[in-house]
Structure 1
Amino acid sequence: MEAHGRRHWMDALRGVAVLLVASWHAFSTLYDSMPVAIEWIFNFLSVYRIPLLLFLSGLLLDQSVRKGAGAYVVGKLRRIAWPLIIWSALLVLIGWPAAKPFDGWYWLGEGGYLWYLGVLLACYAIGLITKFVHPLIILGVGTILMEVVDTEIAFVTNVLWFGLYFFAGATLSRWLDRWLRMGPLVPSLLVSASLAWAAYSATVNGYAPVLHWRPLLLSIIGVVGVVWFASRLRRVRWMEWIGQRSIVFYVAHVPFIYLTSRLLGEAVPEWVGCLVGHVVMFGGCLMLARFLDRSILFEFPWVPSLRGRSAAEGRSRDPNPRRGSNPEPRLDAAGTTEPERT
């Protein structure tokens, strides 16, 4: 464990993953026909992008649950459900084509990029039972359900598939310190196998296939290996900063891309539009993250009675705290530790 109870490499990995997701959406929106090489790279990375985000959130599930049920539920509603609703409404206001406000599933992210927040909410709801049931059991049951459940509801499909990465992370969290102390041989073999799969899948399948245990396993072992290597890299503080505000970057990037595409239209070559779109998207997200990350756009304000109740519950769980000890770091909506304030 690093200083002040933080694992900074988690923040950095989350930052990398959310930037890759944002860049993929920019290229796929601003190009009618994406260059073959770029498309292959993004298909190669599809084995890791969203799986890594969910896996990292799962790694911190136990830490969230230890806050107590009240603080846990309130925190997820404030920092996941709230931005899901707010940004779903904003997409309607800007005329985003996939917005379907009269479809109930839309408000859980179905039909658009906000599905990730809907999946997170479902995972955290299920995650409450990990106080009594080992996450490995949930992972096993979920894998069986993923193979046998046939549904046309995208939200359910996404939970059954991507939720498994969340609970794979929650499972590893029980042995994370032991895993990080291992030598390099096993992690190197895992990453090598996963990279080979990613290259094969990008060449043969395009975007990584879903809803089957083999691609699930090959993706998970790759993410597990990446975690081992990431914990040994030097700190990249600006990437940690982005990772600590990953919810801001995730929910805000698509509106910036969409508005850029509407304003530019076909007035410029596609590569120019894509370059401008990246600048607008990253610049806009940086400004929001710098000045408005604690605003009502991304977090429902604290209700004083709930603050007092959560604090009281926390005290009841630790009646004799050690004087001078560092408090457990707070978690943001996605499960990562919140940024240090200096």
Structure 2
Amino acid sequence: MPDWLRTVNDFLLPYRMPTLMFLSGLLVPRSLEKPLTRYYWGKYQLVLWPYLIWSGIHMVQHIPAGPITNPQNWIATGYLWFLFFIGVYYSIAPFMRYFPAWCPPTFFAIMALALPEGHPERFAYFAIFFFSGALVATHAKLLDAILRGGWVIGGAGLVAVAFGTLATRVDTQYETWGAPFSICGIAVAIYLASRVNGRSWTIPFRFIGRSSLVFYVAHFPIIYGAWTLFTLWSDARPDTISIALFFLALSACTGLAYFQNIPPIKWLFRAPSFPSISTKKWK
């Protein structure tokens, strides 16, 4: 990886996955307005099902991730750990509403500090952002403070730039003490996105956003499979192959996203509905 690209990657590291977790948490209060049967059925269809499908594909394709027969390998499998984590967060979210909204992120912050390195620590660390998103969603004034901008966003922007710069020099990944600084960057990202929302040039990005599950689960198997073929048949430089793989994955995922509502492609990303389970009775 070129040094400049590694630097950009490290700068964004405190904000990329925390932002996705935060945005997922923003959807929790609205989702919980549904009856619990409908709520959990939706999470099974759109979270658990694609996780199981693509985890199986990943373990079959990527030997170090297997064997597929080992139940432990199905826990936070490879690049799909994000989907596993939010699946668990969504599962426990209905029980968290019996506590003040500030309790879950505080509880998981304490857990992240106490747990050893590895999946348990990461699980607690990202839960801070997920349930912080739910907290903001239940307090309109907090979200208004972000969207109105002004000195709040200006200050948050300075903090985010400083912390991102620090992340290029020091390993800050999964460090609980850095969570407040990451939230500053998330606030800036939300503010900037609100300012460009609806612009014509954002149409491709909104398409990707609405189909983010497709791009997320499908990109790695496409890249990994094509990389294996390219390295067998081509003597091209790795950076040249990487550029080709980027556009190949982008094109393939766009095609899958465009046809994602048509069986059997649909069943790669959403569990089939059965006649005995009708959403009409829950409306």
From the superposition, tell whether residues 187 and 105 of structure 1 become closer, same or farther in structure 2 (CA, over 3 Å): farther
Match of 1:223 in 2: 186
Contact 2:67 2:73 in 1 (8 A): yes
Amino acid at match of 2:116: D
Q: Which moved more, 1:279-288 or 1:232-241?
A: 232-241
From the superposition, tell whether residues 257 and 183 of structure 1 become closer, same or farther in structure 2 (CA, over 3 Å): closer
User: Is 1:53 aligned to residue 16 of structure 2?
Assistant: no
Q: Aligned to 2:122, which of 129, 135, 158?
A: 158
Q: Aligned to 1:242, which of 176, 188, 208?
A: 208
Match of 1:272 in 2: 240
Match of 2:250 in 1: 282
Amino acid at match of 1:65: L
Map 1:89-104 to 2 at 5 A: 89-104=56-71
Contact 1:108 1:117 in 2 (8 A): no
Q: Deviations over 1:30-75 (max 9, x none)?
A: xxxx111111111111111111111111011101111121111000
Contact 1:197 1:218 in 2 (8 A): yes
User: Is 1:312 aligned to residue 276 of structure 2?
Assistant: no
CA positional deviation for 1:92: 2.9
Q: Deviations over 1:299-328 (max 9, x none)?
A: 001123322xx43334xxxxxxxxxxxxxx
Map 1:180-259 to 2 at 5 A: 180=146, 182-205=148-171, 208-212=172-176, 214-235=177-198, 236-259=202-225
Contact 2:112 2:122 in 1 (8 A): no
Q: Report the secondary structure of 1:203's partner residue.
A: coil
Amino acid at match of 1:164: I
CA positional deviation for 1:293: 4.8
Determine the C-alpha separation between the residues in 1 that align with 2:131 and 2:24.
9
Identity %: 26
Determine the C-alpha separation between the residues in 1 that align with 2:116 and 2:23.
28
From the superposition, tell whether residues 218 and 259 of structure 1 become closer, same or farther in structure 2 (CA, over 3 Å): same
Determine the C-alpha separation between the residues in 2 that align with 1:36 and 1:245.
31
Give the gaps of 5 or more residues in structure 1. Answer: 1-33, 315-342
Amino acid at match of 2:70: D
User: Is 1:297 aligned to residue 268 of structure 2?
Assistant: yes
Q: Aligned to 2:38, which of 47, 57, 71?
A: 71
User: Is 1:144 aligned to residue 113 of structure 2?
Assistant: no
Contact 1:88 1:99 in 2 (8 A): no
CA positional deviation for 1:78: 0.8
Contact 2:13 2:173 in 1 (8 A): no
Q: Which moved more, 1:93-102 or 1:194-203?
A: 93-102
Determine the C-alpha separation between the residues in 2 that align with 1:166 and 1:256.
28
Amino acid at match of 2:29: D
From the superposition, tell whether residues 293 and 114 of structure 1 become closer, same or farther in structure 2 (CA, over 3 Å): farther
Determine the C-alpha separation between the residues in 2 that align with 1:183 and 1:272.
41
Contact 2:146 2:153 in 1 (8 A): no
Residues paired across the two proteins, number:
273
Contact 1:142 1:160 in 2 (8 A): yes
Amino acid at match of 1:90: I
Contact 1:122 1:159 in 2 (8 A): no
Looking at both structures, which has the greater relative contact order when contacts are Cα pairs under 8 Å and sequence separation is at least 6?
1
Give 4+ residue runs of structure 1 displaced > 6 Å after superposition: none
Q: Deviations over 1:153-211 (max 9, x none)?
A: x2x23321112111111111122453245342101211220121011111233xx4214
Q: Report the secondary structure of 1:302's partner residue.
A: coil
Contact 1:123 1:159 in 2 (8 A): no
